[in-house]
């Protein structure tokens, strides 16, 4: 499922790919979509994007007279954007904005599983907290001043998925954040965060005149849980400054190399009370579900016996199943346009022989993640 970094990279892709492009006409919606029609039409307009947490806002701005139209998207499990020729529209392109070129292209909202959505207007979804990526200080304050909220009665791994406080964090990010902070996933959230709050107050008393640069240095050297909620997603967003190429699928292997915990062989896993699998190392914590044995991920992956066998295209050491295939629920539509070579100190996991695989735990292996490299500790 796309998380905060994917939404921010989608916004970057739209702004870079469409920044100088002029669009024209109305907005086309697929017949099967249950999302609202977009009653907007203009002879010439531009499109820009802004991401916040797990939402992305498009602005359609006429070049002449007329009011702009705003739409706010949630990507669900498989949403993405793609700019492509109208003659080569991808399957499941449920919303289309046509360019004024000849032949025309279309900016498409592609969503194979149709869990994504859009709504008219510029307002972010009520109840979502500040973005962990773009509003770090407000995010941090929002968490620490609301520790009496019932959300923090839950295990920290479940609290991290609460978008009221952790807007942008999803399943793979929570695993990476907890692994790096060495916090058991089923420790009580309030216990973890109250200790963090006490440490912060003690640090302020000890060093009341710390400059911003020194604060940033301390944050890099000894990041706490909330700081990791910002810096870990930022590693993904900052991995590649170049234009994103929606057709480049090579980065799946690089994403696997960057992961230190999520889906990594040798790590344990449990399902939380919401049915989501959390990956971790070491003890699960005092609030771990009863009657559920921790399972370690094997290095060998087991093929899904029910999956049809699609045509597979080879990209180096990784075979890539076509977008929309079973086992590849997220089209590789938002991947950085770069080739990830070997880097000193980078932890490498064995190459996956095919993305059309299912883990023993039942999780699909897919191409829906964005990649960056992280130097091994």
Name the token pair of 351: 């190459």
Active site residue 302: no
Separation CA 116–CA 114 (nearest Å): 5
Give the 3-state secondary structure of residue 229.
helix
Report the candidate in 268, 263, 270, 281 with the shortest Cα–Cα distance to residue 349. 263
* Residues 231 and 223: beta-carbon distance below 8 Å: yes
Catalytic residue (one of 3, 135, 187, 227): 3
Question: Distance (Å, rounded) from C-alpha 171 to C-alpha 10?
Answer: 19
Measure the CA–CA gap between 345 and 350, rounded to whole angstroms: 16
Q: What is the dihedral of CA 133, 135, 138, 143, to 10 degrees?
A: -20
Helices (H) and strands (E) in the chain, counts: 8, 13
CB neighbourhood size of 87 (10 A):
9
Catalytic residue among 5, 6, 54, 55: 54
What H or E segment, with its residue span, contains residue 25?
Answer: strand 23-29
Annotated catalytic residue 34: no
Tell me whether residue 2 is one of the annotated catalytic residues.
Answer: yes
CA distances from 163 to 28, 85, 110, 233 (A): 31, 36, 24, 15
State the virtual CA torsion across 19, 20, 21, 25 in degrees, nearest 10.
Answer: 90
Q: How crowded is residue 159: how many other Cβ atoms within 10 Å of its Cβ?
A: 23
Helix H or strand E encompassing 258: helix 251-258
User: 30: which 2 tokens?
Assistant: 């697929």
- Which residues carry out catalysis? 2-3, 54
């Amino acid at each position: 499922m796309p998380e905060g970094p994917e939404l921010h990279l989608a916004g970057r892709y739209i702004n870079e790919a469409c920044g100088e492009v002029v669009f024209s006409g109305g907005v086309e919606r697929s017949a099967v979509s249950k999302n609202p029609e977009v009653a907007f039409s203009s002879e010439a307009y531009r499109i820009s994007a802004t991401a916040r947490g797990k939402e992305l806002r498009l602005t359609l701005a006429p070049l002449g007279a007329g009011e702009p139209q705003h739409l706010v998207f949630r990507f669900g499990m498989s949403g993405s954007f793609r700019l492509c020729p109208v003659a080569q529209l991808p399957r499941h392109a449920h919303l289309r904005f046509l360019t004024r070129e000849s032949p025309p292209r279309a900016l498409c909202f592609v969503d194979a599983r149709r869990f994504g959505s859009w709504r008219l207007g510029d307002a972010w979804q009520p109840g979502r907290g500040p973005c962990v990526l773009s509003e770090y200080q407000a995010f941090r304050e929002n968490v620490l001043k609301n520790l009496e909220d019932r959300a923090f009665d839950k295990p920290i791994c479940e609290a991290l998925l609460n978008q009221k406080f952790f807007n942008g964090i999803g399943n793979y990010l929570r695993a990476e954040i907890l692994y790096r902070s060495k916090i058991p996933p089923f420790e009580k959230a309030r216990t973890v965060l109250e200790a963090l709050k006490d440490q912060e107050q003690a640090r302020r008393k000890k060093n009341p005149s710390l400059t911003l640069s020194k604060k940033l240095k301390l944050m890099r050297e000894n990041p706490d849980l909330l700081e990791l909620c910002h810096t870990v997603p930022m590693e993904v967003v900052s991995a590649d400054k170049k234009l994103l190429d929606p057709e480049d699928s090579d980065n799946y292997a690089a994403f696997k190399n960057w992961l230190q915990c999520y889906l990594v062989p040798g790590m344990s896993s449990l399902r939380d009370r919401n049915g989501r699998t959390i990956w971790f190392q070491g003890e699960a914590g005092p609030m771990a579900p009863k009657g559920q044995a921790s399972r370690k991920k094997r290095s060998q992956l087991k093929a899904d016996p029910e999956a049809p066998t699609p045509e597979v295209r080879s990209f180096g050491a990784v075979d890539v199943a076509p977008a929309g295939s079973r086992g590849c629920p997220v089209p590789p539509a938002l991947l950085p346009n770069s080739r990830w070579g070997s880097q000193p100190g980078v932890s490498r996991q064995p190459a996956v022989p095919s993305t059309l695989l299912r883990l023993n735990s039942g999780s699909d292996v897919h191409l829906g993640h964005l990649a960056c490299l992280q130097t091994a500790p």
